Amino acid sequence: MWEIDALLKSSIAFIKDSKLDVESKKQMIWNFENIPELYEFDAGNFEKSEVDSNIDYKEINPYELGRLIIDEAKSKNRIDLIYEWSAFLLNFWSEYFSNIDTLENLKLNYLKPIKVIFTECDFVDYKPIHATLTIYKNGNKWFSEEQNNLIKWYCN
């Protein structure tokens, strides 16, 4: 899953260069680096860098992490991160993230605020880096009905 690896690497680089406080950066980067292991993705071909014995790292679920990076990406007009994180959270929900919380709670607490930012962006000329990080507004034949309904809700 090179595309997930690329998304995580670009997210790490983006957050490293952000104006967030040092501890927030370290928490987010540590979580980006640990997504593949925690959720059993075949991705994450990078050297883990965020191990600081002075910090008590807390696991942040991918939806909260997505909300945090998308908020930051909005301020820098990084539509690539907004689009790809949206696709990542939607397209991988059923297979990897459905046990995090109920779908209704994920929608209410994370996806709804992300959706607001997403709808403010112009993706007309945007080309996703891979089919797995493409948002199919009308659903995808490979997804369950529930997942297709989630994507349709997000896009409307």
DSSP per-residue codes, the chain? -HHHHHHHHHHHHHHHTS-S-HHHHHHHHHHHHHHHHHTT-S---S------TTS------HHHHHHHHHHHHHHTT-HHHHHHHHHHHHHTIIIIITTSS-HHHHIIIIIHHHHHHHHTS--TT---SSGGG---TT--TTS-HHHHHHHHHHH-
Residue owning tokens 């928490």:
27
Work out the pLDDT band at 155, boundaries 50, 70, 90.
very high
Domain count, the chain: 1
Query: 63 and 110 in contact (C-beta within 8 Å)?
Result: yes
**In this predicted model, which residue has the larger pLDDT, 114 or 43?**
114
pTM for the full predicted model: 0.93
Q: Alpha carbon of 111 to those of 37, 58, 67, 68: distances in Å?
A: 23, 21, 8, 11
Q: Does 41 have pLDDT greater than 90?
A: no
**Domain housing 138:** 2-155
Q: Does 87 have pLDDT greater than 90?
A: yes
Predicted local distance difference test score (pLDDT) of residue 16: 94
Averaged pLDDT score across all residues of the chain: 92
The predicted model gives 25-29 an average pLDDT of 94
